[in-house]
Homo-oligomer: A and B are copies of this chain.
Amino acid sequence: MRAFYIAPFLIFAICGQSPVLAATVEPQAAVKLDPLAEIRETALKSGQAYALLESLTTDVGQRLAGSENDAKAVAWAKAKFTELGFDRVYTEPVRYPVWTRGEESLVSVSPATQKFSVAALGGSMGTGAKGVEAEVVQFDDYKNLESAAAGSAAGKIVFINYQMLRTRDGSDYGAAVISRVAGASAAAKLGARALIIRSIGTDQTRNPHTGVMRYDNTPTRIPAAAIGNIDADLLAAMIKRGKPVTLKLQLGARTLKGDYVGANVIGEITGAVKPKEIVAIGGHLDSWDLGTGAIDDGAGVAITMSAAALIGAQATPPKRTIRVVLFANEEQGVYGGKAYAAARVKADEVGQQVIAAESDFGAGRIYSLKTNLSDARLAGLAPLLRALAPLDITLGANDAGGSADFGPMREAGAPVADLQQDGTKYFDIHHTARDTLDQVDAEDLKQNVAAYAVFARFFADE
């Protein structure tokens, strides 16, 4: 048989005619694919999402909520939705405070003079121009801090040294992130003057991981910042040598007066049969400021915009409307997600949401579909699962959360799903300066687009 094999492209090249001729050699190429298989194969060949991500990270860059680049990103998203042929492109207002970073530094002044990599936590107050200079006291984790004796950090800088564990699903994030979110108030209760945490991250680098923190109702508020894992090792080594270690922290961080009005940016591919019924997908348009927000969450923006655009370009239109929601300010308090749900509740439109899924866990391959559907709808998932199988995606538990931004819709009673991405390496670069385009594998991104396209197309036609 070998002598008779002629590659399809050679037939085309030799004959100069339609590649339909190739079907006589490889008959399966002529089989008409159903819309799910068709969109999967189209997506796996498309560089559209990568081009969108390259544009967002190159032409806009970081998108800290309320910054100039936040407004640029909104304009970028509207223009791209329009370019991509979405039927309806609109924004909905989202109100939030504006936090800014400013200059920052952390040094040890004794017994050795060392410079540490440092980043203020989002929402932290600053130290004032003089900074905070004090001896450091180390706690192994948040629990030890919370249960420490009153006054045990009086006048000191608290250092929480918890090392986050690496997992595929990011399941240690909850245990780790409490130091970042609640550490400052817990340290303030003990009389501390500032908080330093080992970064909530799995990397072995000097990059600090920023991320949001909150002050509870503890009367005293203190500044809070993260240092990179290697820097945390150095600080711990200095402390271990036994002499008191004095640090000087300077943070120029502050929250501006008054709120900013940003926007959720929405693009729709209108359904041909039931246009008022909505399949919602999306990501968040804002990012932290240290990198260019490529994996958090430029990837989610690009994946879902492209998945919907490719469906919009199919010959057969979807029956229901596919809506891509690019949320404002997820990072500092899910402001966009809350505003989106509040607007749907107010307009009594929660029931129109057939399903929703947000892509916000990087750009790793999707391995599982989690749902929160009725038994009746679960029973009908077979065609979806068959279409996802070639992407190595299997059915997971029926306990989906809807990610951060569709969480409020889930709480309002709407069905949601989670297309779970492999997050093994996600927390190496999450919220750091290394969240840049080069971290994204173009082939993995295609798999994500294919999964979202199949998912959205299935529920649009279900």
A interface list, Cβ under 8 A from B: 54, 57-62, 68-69, 72, 103, 111-115, 117, 204-206, 230, 233-234, 237-238, 241, 289, 292, 433-434, 436-438
CA distance A292 to B230 in the complex (A): 11
Q: Are A234 and B112 in contact (CB under 8 A)?
A: no
Q: Are A433 and B117 in contact (CB under 8 A)?
A: yes
A448 to chain B, nearest CB (A): 22
CA distance A111 to B58 in the complex (A): 10
Q: Are A230 and B438 in contact (CB under 8 A)?
A: yes
- In the bound complex, residues from chain B placing their C-beta under 8 Å from that of A233 are 438
CA distance A57 to B54 in the complex (A): 39
- In the bound complex, residues from chain B placing their C-beta under 8 Å from that of A68 are 113
Q: What are 14 residue pairs bridging A and B, where the CB atoms are less than 8 Å apart in the complex?
A: A54-B237, A57-B234, A58-B234, A59-B112, A61-B114, A61-B115, A62-B114, A69-B113, A103-B103, A115-B289, A205-B434, A206-B433, A206-B434, A234-B437
Copies of this chain, whole number = 2
CA distance A438 to B204 in the complex (A): 9
CA distance A54 to B438 in the complex (A): 33
- In the bound complex, residues from chain B placing their C-beta under 8 Å from that of A436 are 206, 230, 234
User: Which of A60, A437, A438 gathers most chain B CB within 10 Å?
Assistant: A438
Q: Given A114-B292, A206-B433, do A58 and B241 touch, yes or no (CB 8 Å)?
A: yes
- Closest partner residue, chain B, to A240 (CB atom): B58
- Closest partner residue, chain B, to A233 (CB atom): B438
> Which residue of B60, B230, B241 contacts A112 across the interface (Cβ within 8 Å)?
B60
- Closest partner residue, chain B, to A57 (CB atom): B234
CA distance A112 to B60 in the complex (A): 6
CA distance A241 to B60 in the complex (A): 13
A10 to chain B, nearest CB (A): 35
A238 to chain B, nearest CB (A): 6
- In the bound complex, residues from chain B placing their C-beta under 8 Å from that of A72 are 112-113
A55 to chain B, nearest CB (A): 9
A363 to chain B, nearest CB (A): 16
CA distance A230 to B292 in the complex (A): 11
Q: Are A292 and B234 in contact (CB under 8 A)?
A: yes
A66 to chain B, nearest CB (A): 14
User: Which of A54, A69, A114 gathers most chain B CB within 10 Å?
Assistant: A114
- In the bound complex, residues from chain B placing their C-beta under 8 Å from that of A438 are 204, 230, 233
- In the bound complex, residues from chain B placing their C-beta under 8 Å from that of A206 are 433-434, 436
Q: Are B237 and A58 in contact (CB under 8 A)?
A: yes
- In the bound complex, residues from chain B placing their C-beta under 8 Å from that of A237 are 54, 58
- Closest partner residue, chain B, to A204 (CB atom): B438
CA distance A69 to B112 in the complex (A): 9
CA distance A434 to B234 in the complex (A): 12
CA distance A54 to B58 in the complex (A): 40
CA distance A59 to B115 in the complex (A): 13
- In the bound complex, residues from chain B placing their C-beta under 8 Å from that of A230 are 434, 436, 438
CA distance A54 to B233 in the complex (A): 12
- In the bound complex, residues from chain B placing their C-beta under 8 Å from that of A112 are 58-61, 72
CA distance A334 to B190 in the complex (A): 51
- Closest partner residue, chain B, to A59 (CB atom): B112
- In the bound complex, residues from chain B placing their C-beta under 8 Å from that of A69 are 113
- Closest partner residue, chain B, to A434 (CB atom): B206
- Closest partner residue, chain B, to A205 (CB atom): B434
- Closest partner residue, chain B, to A76 (CB atom): B112
Q: Apart from A206-B433, A206-B434, A234-B437, what 16 extra A-B contacts exist at CB < 8 Å?
A: A54-B237, A58-B112, A58-B234, A58-B241, A59-B241, A60-B112, A61-B112, A61-B114, A62-B114, A72-B112, A114-B292, A115-B289, A117-B433, A230-B436, A230-B438, A234-B436
CA distance A204 to B292 in the complex (A): 16
CA distance A230 to B440 in the complex (A): 13
CA distance A210 to B230 in the complex (A): 20
Q: Are B111 and A61 in contact (CB under 8 A)?
A: no
User: Which of A103, A206, A289 gathers most chain B CB within 10 Å?
Assistant: A206
- In the bound complex, residues from chain B placing their C-beta under 8 Å from that of A62 are 114-115
- Closest partner residue, chain B, to A291 (CB atom): B206
